[in-house]
Amino acid sequence: MARSISYVTGSQLLSLKRRPNIAIIDVRDDERSYDGHIAGSLHYASDTFSEKISNLIQEVKGKDTLVFHCALSQVRGPTCARKIVNYLEEMKEDSGIKNIWVLERGFNGWEASGRPVCSCTDIPCKDESA
């Protein structure tokens, strides 16, 4: 099954992020630790993303939508989204993942628009502040 990558706006994600079938994947590297993050997001740094794809697939079991982002969602976010699409196409079993999205304008756009940002150091983020 060929999957394509779509973009989602911050407003759309804000209204959808509470749904239990969505996982937000932050692929920024070190900046997550000092810039904060979208509450409830999972962290899979882009520099080690390829080696950890199978871990991500296990962590998002039961989710059908993955939303990727980096700082601006211009390079790292879309690149990691493409890597997951390629990985899923090579898998023999159905992961249940139907939608691969990239957050328009990334974390910086999310934060600049006044949307909620979490600065916890919990791994994974427990999303208790939102």
CATH number at residue 48: 3.40.250.10
Query: Catalytic pick from 70, 80, 118, 125?
Result: 70
Find residue 100's DSSP bridge partners: 5, 66
H or E element at residue 55: helix 49-59
Residue 128 lies in a domain: no
What is the percentage of the chain residues whose pLDDT exceeds 70? Answer: 95
Q: What is the pLDDT of residue 128?
A: 55
Q: How many domains does the chain have?
A: 1
Q: Which domain holds residue 112?
A: 5-118
Residue 127 lies in a domain: no
Q: How far apart are CA 44 and CA 42, in angstroms?
A: 7
120 is catalytic: no
Q: Which residue has the higher pLDDT, 79 or 17?
A: 79
Q: What is the pLDDT of residue 99?
A: 95
Q: How far apart are CA 124 and CA 6, in angstroms?
A: 25
Residue 59 lies in a domain: yes
Kindly report, residue by residue over 62-118, the tens digit of the pLDDT.
999 999 999 999 999 999 999 999 999 998 778 899 999 999 999 999 999 999 999
Task: Tell me the CA distances in angstroms from 92 to 9, 87, 112, one per residue in order.
Answer: 32, 10, 41
Reply yes or no on whether the pLDDT at 7 is more than 50.
yes
Residue 94 lies in a domain: yes
Q: What is the pLDDT of residue 121?
A: 81
